Structure 1
Amino acid sequence: MRIGILTGGGDVPGLNPCIRSIVLSAIDLGWDVTGFRKGWQGFLNIDPGDPASIAAFTYRLDREAVRGIDRMGGTILHTSRTDPRTVKEGDRTDHVLCVLKALGIDAMITLGGDGTLRFSAHLSAQGFPVISVPKTMDNDVHGTDYCIGFSTAVSRSVEAINALRTTTESHERIAVIELFGRRSGETALLAGFLAQVDRTIIAEVPADLDILLPLLAADRASRPSNYAVCVISEGARLSTDAAADGSDIAQSATKRGKAGVGQRLARQIEERTGIGTVVQELAYLMRAGEPDAMDRMVGFAFGGLAVQLLQRGEYGRMVALIDGNYQHVPIDTLLAGTKSVDVSALYDSGVYRARLLRVEGMPMFLY
């Protein structure tokens, strides 16, 4: 059998361990593995009749190619945010299928977030064998409790939040630390709880500044060192924000028409309370560098399970972690809903704090 691998969407630590696991597991079965560069965009750049384009966007993955990559962050296959159905030339699903046939690919394993895996489900619906692997630092793929990259993003965030305490305290200010999370506030919720910040604003609950700002001022005044820390999801909304359709936050940072929510919150703090702020967008630092132990473990396990499913002929599946157990679900499961914070169970919206202390009977990541 000849299988293909690609990574799509934003990179996260843990992708390379998963790639290594897939390759070594496949080689042990006597299979060949082809890596596709730059996600689904790589397919669109391949002309099946042009060997140069094939060479530019594919390469054979063997033991030597994946040696030591588990210690590296990012993805050796590189990535893109392309859905072949929505490019300006129109739906190019047929081109993807043509490339797969021309290169003799019998099955695909795709590593990605919601966007990448939606096309994977579409490709599976066309009858092509696909196994998908969920990854996203926001942990917002519906159908799995855990996505590769989440643990490292939380770990990086906690380290940075605690490091920023020193300068915030030295200047007796209020720190506003913005984390990635457009649709889900899960990363901010857990990072804020583990760093024990004063207040955490998540994407699911709008922040009423008439309530939040007095709380932050009181938090600062309650400390002899006279500072406070607030974490906020990039997709959070403030009571002072005009109604929006969400299109701005979907743009890259350089194309957005207004300041990020962290900046907007800091301005309101200074204007209404007179207290100075420290503003920090952690952004890409959350997904930079090598994976932590959890993302290495999940990456290895997801990769091995994906190959096992192909070996058994169980196509059209997404590997998953559910209630702490490795499982797999139909590949189109993510289309059935959206994954976000269970506010009633995990968050106190009245005081903008995580509610994570009732843990008996819950899995490790508290979902």
Structure 2
Amino acid sequence: MRIGILTGGGDVPGLNPCIKAVTRRASELGWEVVGFRRGWAGPLEWNPDDPEGSEKHLMRLDPNAVRTIDRTGGTVLHSSRTNPGKVKEEDLPDFLKGKFEKNDKGLYDCTPHVLRVMEALEIDALVPIGGDDTLSYGARLHQEGMKVMSVPKTMDNDVFGTDYCIGFSTAVSRSVEHINSLRTSTGSHERIAVIELFGRNSGETALIAGYLADVDRALIAEVPFNVNRLSEQLLKDRADNPSHYSMVVVSEGAQMQGGEIVERGEADAYGHRKLGGVGELLGEEIKRITGVGIVSQSLGYMMRAGAPDALDLMVAKSYGTMAVQLLDEGKHGLMMAIRDGNYTTVPGDTCIKGQRRVDVDALYDTQAYRPRIAKVTGMPMFLY
């Protein structure tokens, strides 16, 4: 058997260990592994009529090629937000121009080409690693007859159908570390710290990082906030603190009551514009209202920089190993998952059948803007 593997969307710590696990387990079975570079852009840009010229879009994987990759973060296969089912004209490879018709949105569906690539490369099964966007196209290929085994990853931990996605634990660990480091500067100048974290639609990263770092307030994507009430709360937090400072973390997808999500640029192939900037705007508003100086910091890519922590190493390697084991058992069309603390699988298209969001009633105080854990017994490890 020959397996194809790719990583799409944002990078997270744990991708390389998963690639390594798939490669090593497949090699033990005598199978070949081919990595597509830059996510779904790899098969989109590989030309079956020019295999030698297209070799740059592939990475041949074997135990020696992946021997040390699990010691670092990111992905050796690189990544992109390409969707071969929705390709803009300027992103269409030259050799595909004139071969497909535009749909009513002015986009090209190049899925027949991707299937031809899989056939030309003799790919028997594909292992995409990504968030719901990347995996949604994997589900599309499965519907077209391709054998697909999906692996969920995202710092936001918001892929529907699993309790855990690769990258979440490391992102929380990094966030807690940096939040606590910022206490020294914030306290030294007796300011209010506004710390922006990744989190488009789900505020779980801000919720859990804020809970563990014991910040004064945490703003999540699911609950619009009143900036005047928040400012009063932060002033009181600052007055009650012997070191005379306070801290609030905010999901990049959070929004003020009556306001809009802060985003910029053109939408990507999955309809998402870049987020970021709500922390800076919030800091300006808090300073205007309170007159107190602000420490404004977006942790951004620092949340997913560096090597994975032990939990992400464990989950990534387990997901990769499980995907190959199940293929060996003749199964496919599944997504790796953790549910109720156990490794399991769900149908591969589960990721597009719902949304995973913070359980606000159980985990959040919408008036005080802070985590409120109503119950721990019987809850998953991350209370979510």
The within-5 A match list for 1:170-181 is 170-181=188-199
Aligned to 1:127: 145
Task: Indicate conservation of the 8 Å contact 1:198/1:230, yes or no.
Answer: yes
Task: Indicate conservation of the 8 Å contact 1:6/1:35, yes or no.
Answer: yes
In 1, Cα distance between the equivalents of 2:315 and 2:274? 38
The within-5 A match list for 1:89-100 is 89=89, 90-100=108-118
In 2, Cα distance between the equivalents of 1:111 and 1:49? 27
Q: Which range moves more in the overlay, 90-99 or 49-58?
A: 49-58
Query: Are 1:282 and 2:336 an aligned pair?
Result: no
Aligned to 2:224: 206
The within-5 A match list for 1:91-240 is 91-239=109-257
**How far 1:54 moved relative to its partner?**
2.9
Deviations along 1:21-78, one digit per CA (max 9) or x if unpaired, are 0001101111011111111011111111112333101122111000011111000111
**How far 1:312 moved relative to its partner?**
1.1
In 1, Cα distance between the equivalents of 2:302 and 2:221? 20
Aligned to 1:39: 39
**How far 1:248 moved relative to its partner?**
3.9
For structure 2, which runs of at least 5 residues remain unmatched after alignment? 90-107
Secondary structure in 2 aligned to 1:42? helix
Secondary structure in 2 aligned to 1:34? strand
Letter in 1 for 2:327: L
**How far 1:121 moved relative to its partner?**
0.3
Aligned to 2:83: 83
Task: Indicate conservation of the 8 Å contact 2:362/2:375, yes or no.
Answer: no
Task: Indicate conservation of the 8 Å contact 1:318/1:328, yes or no.
Answer: yes
Secondary structure in 1 aligned to 2:279? helix
Aligned to 1:22: 22
Aligned residues: 363
Sort the Cα spacing of 1:74 and 1:274 in 2 relative to 1 into closer, same or farther, 3 A.
Answer: same
Letter in 2 for 1:131: M
Task: Indicate conservation of the 8 Å contact 2:33/2:61, yes or no.
Answer: yes
Aligned to 1:326: 343
**How far 1:359 moved relative to its partner?**
0.8
Deviations along 1:315-338, one digit per CA (max 9) or x if unpaired, are 100000111110000000011111
Task: Indicate conservation of the 8 Å contact 2:263/2:276, yes or no.
Answer: no
Task: Indicate conservation of the 8 Å contact 1:235/1:249, yes or no.
Answer: no
Deviations along 1:237-266, one digit per CA (max 9) or x if unpaired, are 01262x56x7648859xx989971101111
Deviations along 1:146-198, one digit per CA (max 9) or x if unpaired, are 00000000000000000000000001000000000011000000000000000
For structure 1, which runs of at least 5 residues remain unmatched after alignment? none
In 1, Cα distance between the equivalents of 2:145 and 2:44? 20
Letter in 2 for 1:260: G
Q: TM-score, normalised by structure 1?
A: 0.96
Aligned to 1:263: 280
Deviations along 1:252-281, one digit per CA (max 9) or x if unpaired, are 9xx989971101111111111101100000
In 2, Cα distance between the equivalents of 1:294 and 1:147? 11
Sort the Cα spacing of 1:250 and 1:260 in 2 relative to 1 into closer, same or farther, 3 A.
Answer: farther
Letter in 1 for 2:226: D
In 1, Cα distance between the equivalents of 2:154 and 2:274? 25
Task: Indicate conservation of the 8 Å contact 1:323/1:363, yes or no.
Answer: yes
Letter in 1 for 2:341: G
In 2, Cα distance between the equivalents of 1:307 and 1:86? 29
Sort the Cα spacing of 1:57 and 1:249 in 2 relative to 1 into closer, same or farther, 3 A.
Answer: closer
In 1, Cα distance between the equivalents of 2:6 and 2:123? 12
In 2, Cα distance between the equivalents of 1:70 and 1:122? 29
Sort the Cα spacing of 1:194 and 1:96 in 2 relative to 1 into closer, same or farther, 3 A.
Answer: same
In 1, Cα distance between the equivalents of 2:256 and 2:49? 53
Aligned to 2:362: 345
In 2, Cα distance between the equivalents of 1:8 and 1:152? 18
Letter in 2 for 1:285: M
In 2, Cα distance between the equivalents of 1:66 and 1:19? 8
Secondary structure in 2 aligned to 1:53? coil
Task: Indicate conservation of the 8 Å contact 1:85/1:93, yes or no.
Answer: yes
